[in-house]
Amino acid sequence: MKTHEDKKQSLNNKCVLTFMLLRSLAPLKHTMNIVSNSMTIVAEELHTL
pLDDT at 39: 93
pLDDT at 38: 94
Residues 1-49: tens digit of each pLDDT: 678 889 899 988 998 999 999 888 889 989 999 999 999 999 998 888 7
CA distance 37 to 28: 14
pLDDT at 34: 93
pLDDT at 47: 84
pLDDT at 33: 94
CA distance 30 to 15: 23
pLDDT at 2: 77
* 8-state DSSP, 10: H
